[in-house]
Structure 1
Amino acid sequence: MELVRKLKQRQAEGNPVSVGLIGCGQMGSGLAHTINNIDGMTVRAIADIDPQRGIATFREMGVPRDAICSAETAGQLQDALAAHRVAVTPNAELLTQAETIEANVEATGVPDVGAFIALRSIENRKPIIMLNVETDVTVGAHLNHLARKTGALYTVASGDEPGVCKMLFDQAVLMGFEVICLGKCKNNPIDYDMTPQRCEAEARSKDMNSKILASFIDGTKTMVEMAAVSNATGLLPDRPGMHGAKVEIEDLARTFVPREAGGIFAHRGTVEYSTGRFAPGVFAVVYTDDARIRKDMKFITKAEGPYYLHYRPYHLCDLETPQSIAEAVLLHEVTVAAETMHSEVVAVAKRNLQAGARIGGIGSADIYGRIYTYAEAQKQKAVPLGIAPGGVVTRDIAKGEVLSQTAFAPDDSTFIYKLRQQQDEWLVREGRSA
């Protein structure tokens, strides 16, 4: 890859890669600042339900107030961009239509919004880079299929765990190793009872949305991230929810291996997480029985094998996302995307839910996510997490019970529900379901 050279060339030509940003919360605003420090790439427009957040972010980046335009219509947005000014808008769809924006990044974290924006970007042949993994694990396989079919590009971003885990996976495969386990370290044990109210003070101290923080603490984000890894690689959770064992770096290659090798897994090829002390690291446990490769690994790493640890001590979230943008625009390359469904994140009741109740979304006091194999989730008629928000309980559901189609009715008016129906039909029709 020659991304830096190509970006510098774009800068020298006065034609930096033009980026649209949908969602200007913690991740989105951080990405905008990162891009602001990169030669050859620039944020031209920000869409957010609160346009003042976009204005504040541009001002923090040193953009004069009179160079920031408010755009309510496609014409206003196009006029602003043509005049070499930046724009903010509450209407994210406008960014998917703007000719001078070369790629969009979706960073809202709202599954329904992410599905809509991704599809509209694909329909307009505009690369879409997803920091919204919640959308990806729900309808990402279908979106990727549509993008490849039409010559567009859909990808989950580098920097989040799915992107860096996929990097480790590809590197291991290209070195001839069998990937036994891909995983991440979660920096705290799961608290399934966490609510936005309970973590509000902590969220405020970290400048975070309390629902987003709750979804980290209740384990939903970890389940979502590792499901995205599973769907992109074919590796599977060893059991529903994964093991989540507290394992330190030095023991990963002894613990996250098959039982016949003294580990905890019933099968080879897993996704997993640990609550050890190496967060925010990600890892791959790999295997080879080739005597020569084992000899070389002994010489290079001093490890005995045949199981080896490939470890990256960090993932830098939105700070690494510009690499995916550059790869998408300059090379037309995907960072990570699903070809089919291998795993599903299903909705689980966080408390007793009574018939007739309309439930909240991800990170609410009502539900959390748990990873299952896609086959098992289908068998249980489990409701995918991404289509659960706003649905109605049709019979009482006990705390800890998986929401099933026999006891829960999703909101069928949402965009993501309709797209998920299309995905289910496509998978059956093409015989591509796991």
Structure 2
Amino acid sequence: MNAQQAGAQPVDRTVTYALTGACGGFARTLLAQTRRMPNLRASVLCDLDTDGVHALAADLGFPADELVTVGDTEALAAAVAAGRTAVVADSALLAAGGFDILVEATGSPAVGYRAARTALTGGRHVAMVSKEVDSVSGVELASIAAEHGVVYTTATGDQPANLIQWFDWARGLGLEIVAIGKSGEYDLVYDPETATVTQLGETIDAPALGGLLKLGEDVRATLAARAEAVAPLKRSAAADYCEMAVVATSTGFTSDVEAMHYPVARVAELADVYALREHGGVSTREGVVDVFSVLRLPEEASFAGGVFAVVRTHDPVTWQTLAQKGHVVSRDGRYACLYLPYHLMGVETPTTLLDAVLRGVPAGSPSPRQHVVLGGRTTRDLPAGTVLTMGGHHHEVEGVAPVLLATDDAPADAAPLYLAAHAVLATDVPAGELLTVGHLTGHDAELLAAWRAGLALPRGGDGA
């Protein structure tokens, strides 16, 4: 049963949740949605900006007296007992909240890890939205959840959970999956009238794209030419790598190359693009996780940060029939691409919260394993004493490019990117070098211990 099916079933009680990072963009989408659902209620909202939480709630139509800011556990417990929503600045107060499930959305690796661990050891479920936390400590947190008889889960509405569920669905049907992945957050929109391409708010001249709208016979050559045509645009993001690292823990699929392929592709081409190399595509093997940049015309629908699975077709008659119905099948008929062109953030997340609390079902593997290392490779010489600053919407680490390595191919002391974030370099690190734990000082000791505990768990063929 998938989350969409389970979430639609009758619910016999109100589920309460605590939310960290309650002023963020995801938080708004979740609060806006659960405001409409009598079977889900926010019990505690946690954010350093408590005034901002109240302003957001007011904007969403919460009555002014429904939320109350509290500063200690007694006041928090009293507010919750009175049926009000408590607002706190300190996540350490959450334990007194009496909620069913924590939705962790701070994006802070250390703070989010501790909040999740405290909830799990206190017998509460956790829905992890902070992929930065998940990429370092998710495997260990899932193990803690199992020990305490509660659920640790990714959150439907974000790409990791959506893709893991899509993978499970396809695998459950007996389909032979070659590659899985998602689109980047922002499409490349090509305007033939102006010969320009726009990504989010940035527009560049791209006259060469006019002759590259069709894939042509040499798929990889076309993809290389497209990449060159849009080279001034930054298409990759640390968030993409982080999300695919989380997907790897539940699926066992790993990146084909450490920087991922990131092809510039139209949706109808994906079955050809992710075919095995001997059949003209980019995949060197089966079991690949990747991200692509959507190329589309202004009037064409977006992929909307959706997810996909490329599968072998086997029976040609079946898939010829499906191709006639509009499904994406490769030109040689060997592969098909099945996809969901959306991720709805907190609008979808209620299904995860209800499934976890009422049915004990995670949106992902109950026993993920560390199949990949989301590491960092320096993009310039970095001297000792450099603070590895993390910031921006996509949580990039300044001076460091994310890379995705199969665990067996990574050095034993490779530093997870979001352990390195906010740490200080103990030594000079030349450009192009993979960061290791030995390069760092000032990193969070508990987070490192969680990473190593997860890394030590035995791995099978996939995350299940």
Task: Please tell me the TM-score bracket, short chain as reference.
Answer: 0.7 to 0.9
Alignment correspondent of 2:120: 122
Secondary structure of the residue aligned to 2:118 is helix
1:281 pairs, out of 282, 306, 321, with 306
Amino acid at match of 1:376: D
Equivalence map 1:219-298=2 (5 Å)? 219-277=237-295, 278-289=303-314, 291=315, 294-298=316-320
**Residue pair 2:235, 2:293 contacting (<8 A) in 1 also:** no
Amino acid at match of 1:319: V
Secondary structure of the residue aligned to 2:86 is strand
**Counterpart-to-counterpart distance in 2, 1:235 and 1:157:** 19
Secondary structure of the residue aligned to 1:84 is coil
Residue 160 (structure 1) shift: 1.0
1:374 pairs, out of 398, 407, 428, with 407
Unmatched segments (≥5 aa) in structure 1: 11-15, 191-201, 204-215
Residue 38 (structure 1) shift: 1.9
**Residue pair 1:97, 1:121 contacting (<8 A) in 2 also:** no
**Residue pair 2:7, 2:352 contacting (<8 A) in 1 also:** no
**Counterpart-to-counterpart distance in 2, 1:413 and 1:238:** 30
Higher helix share: 1
* Structure 1 pair 392–139 and aligned structure 2 pair: CA distance change class (3 A): same
**Counterpart-to-counterpart distance in 1, 2:294 and 2:67:** 45
The 10-residue stretch of structure 1 (114-123 or 30-39) with the greater mean CA deviation from structure 2 = 30-39
**Residue pair 1:349, 1:398 contacting (<8 A) in 2 also:** yes
Measured against aligned partners, the alpha-carbon deviations of 1:71-106 in whole angstroms (never above 9, x if no partner) come to: 21221111001111111001223324432x111100
**Residue pair 2:102, 2:125 contacting (<8 A) in 1 also:** yes
What TM-score do you get using the length of structure 1 for normalisation?
0.85
Amino acid at match of 1:298: Q
Residue 36 (structure 1) shift: 0.7
Unmatched segments (≥5 aa) in structure 2: 189-200, 203-233, 296-302
* Structure 1 pair 365–159 and aligned structure 2 pair: CA distance change class (3 A): same
**Counterpart-to-counterpart distance in 2, 1:357 and 1:42:** 44
**Counterpart-to-counterpart distance in 2, 1:132 and 1:340:** 18
Alignment correspondent of 2:27: 28
Root-mean-square deviation (CA, aligned residues, Å) is 2.5
Secondary structure of the residue aligned to 1:275 is strand
- 1:307 equivalent to 2:306? Answer no
**Counterpart-to-counterpart distance in 1, 2:257 and 2:54:** 46
**Residue pair 1:352, 1:398 contacting (<8 A) in 2 also:** yes
Measured against aligned partners, the alpha-carbon deviations of 1:7-44 in whole angstroms (never above 9, x if no partner) come to: 3x43xxxxx21111111211112211121122311112
**Counterpart-to-counterpart distance in 2, 1:280 and 1:431:** 29
2:351 pairs, out of 292, 315, 323, with 323
Alignment correspondent of 1:423: 454
Amino acid at match of 1:329: V
Amino acid at match of 1:392: V
Higher strand share: 2
The 10-residue stretch of structure 1 (391-400 or 27-36) with the greater mean CA deviation from structure 2 = 391-400
**Counterpart-to-counterpart distance in 1, 2:6 and 2:406:** 38
Amino acid at match of 1:249: V
Amino acid at match of 1:4: A
Residue 217 (structure 1) shift: 6.1
**Counterpart-to-counterpart distance in 2, 1:419 and 1:317:** 27
**Residue pair 1:95, 1:104 contacting (<8 A) in 2 also:** no
**Counterpart-to-counterpart distance in 2, 1:34 and 1:217:** 30
**Residue pair 1:17, 1:102 contacting (<8 A) in 2 also:** yes
1:349 pairs, out of 365, 374, 378, with 378
* Structure 1 pair 60–132 and aligned structure 2 pair: CA distance change class (3 A): same
Alignment correspondent of 2:213: none
Alignment correspondent of 2:142: 144
**Counterpart-to-counterpart distance in 2, 1:26 and 1:248:** 28
Alignment correspondent of 1:65: 64
Residue 307 (structure 1) shift: 1.1
1:173 pairs, out of 171, 174, 187, with 171
Amino acid at match of 2:159: E
Alignment correspondent of 1:83: 82
Alignment correspondent of 2:44: 45
**Counterpart-to-counterpart distance in 2, 1:300 and 1:103:** 41
- 1:396 equivalent to 2:394? Answer no
Measured against aligned partners, the alpha-carbon deviations of 1:343-369 in whole angstroms (never above 9, x if no partner) come to: 111022244311222321242433342
The 10-residue stretch of structure 1 (359-368 or 154-163) with the greater mean CA deviation from structure 2 = 359-368
Residue 329 (structure 1) shift: 1.1
Measured against aligned partners, the alpha-carbon deviations of 1:281-305 in whole angstroms (never above 9, x if no partner) come to: 221101143x3xx433332443473
